[in-house]
Amino acid sequence: FQREAAVLREIHHPAIVQLVAFGQAKDGTWWLAMEHLVGKTLKDRLSQGGPFVPRDAWPVLATMCDGVALAHAKGILHRDLKPENVLLLESGLPPCKILDFGLSRYTAKPDRITATGTVLGTPRYMAPEMLHENAPIDERADVFAIGAIAFEMFTGRSVYPAEDFGQLFGCILEGRTLSLRSVRPDASPELERVLARPDGGEAPWSVGERDVELHGRRREIVDRDPAIDRDELEQRLDACA
């Protein structure tokens, strides 16, 4: 609670849940009070409504990128971006809010809040370097998670072709991911290129100096659709990375 409160005090953005109050009860229990929000999580929306069409996905992805970009500008990594932590607001203003900064940290203050050997974050949205105990973690891990979320928004399934946790960890470590059009043949080649790995399959999306494809091939993130302002989305994704 103290970590999350400290982080949220630093961030004020429409796309990020706002801290209202923070304190400690007489019995020593710490508490947080957040703004009241009405809506459903992205996870629930995907479970109930299936994949998004690009024009509906764009406002959510762009808003997420805006919020993450501000957090990164403040030197803060979220480290657990996933559909459960994205709330789609009933009002639509803004389209979504990013929740749960409980695993976040400052980039200038490396730390370890879990025991050695414990996985930090949610594997289905985890960049490969997060499974390596001594690997450096930076902003690209969050951008990677946005890419994995985007793939799920467009397809309704995980980017990793795994049936159980053992297979999942193997996929993450080896960088084995699905191509967009193998799951959704009606998707445009432009959108598939955005969500493809940078070298066509030889390496994971985000390892060392490699940029995440959501950023690296962001020029046409969505299908050719007059409702989409691709230039604006490109600017937002650029700021996020």
CB atoms under 10 Å from CB of 53, counted, come to 14
Residues 193, 217: contact at Cβ < 8 Å? yes
Is 231 catalytic? The answer is no
Burial of 165-204, coded b for 16+ CB within 10 Å and e otherwise, reads eeebbebbeebbbbbbbebbeebbeebbbbbbbbeeeeeb
Rounded CA separation 170/88 (Å): 32
Residues 158, 124: contact at Cβ < 8 Å? yes
Backbone dihedral region of 16: left (phi > 0), alpha (psi from -120 to 50 degrees) or beta? beta
Task: Tell me whether the omega of the peptide bond preceding residue 94 falls within 30 degrees of 0, making it cis.
Answer: yes
Q: Which of 66, 80, 142, 223 is catalytic?
A: 80
Residues 98, 39: contact at Cβ < 8 Å? no
The residues assigned a catalytic role are 80
